[in-house]
Amino acid sequence: MGEKEKLAKIRFALEKCVGQRVRLTAKKGRKKSVVRQGVIEETFPSIFIIKLDNSIDQLPSSSRRVSYSYTDILTKAIEVVRC
């Protein structure tokens, strides 16, 4: 299976999960990773957006959105797991 087919498969799987809660593990370098929870908000042709849950360091009314590309999943820079 080529890389384009793998990316299309990843994108299709994430499109089905829009609106569902996920756990996001992002690798930040040498043996460091950040684990957050949120909701897949939207998917686009080359990126997807996750709305993260409020955390202690953020204001109660603020919400943070992060975007990642499908290649981040393919290269294992991030891991997205449904809760």
- CA distances 52 to 13, 21, 23, 72, Å, are 19, 10, 9, 17
Instruction: Domain ranges for the chain, please list them.
Output: 3-82
* Model pLDDT, residue 20: 95
Q: Per-residue pLDDT tens for 39-79?
A: 999 999 999 999 998 765 555 556 799 999 999 999 999 99
Q: Is the pLDDT of residue 24 over 90?
A: yes
- Torsion angles phi and psi, residue 12, rounded to 5: -60, -40
What's this model's pTM, rounded to 2 decimal places? 0.84
- 3-82 fold: SH3 type barrels. (2.30.30)
User: Environment class of residue 38 by beta-carbon count within 10 Å: exposed (0-12), middle (13-18) or buried (19+)?
Assistant: buried
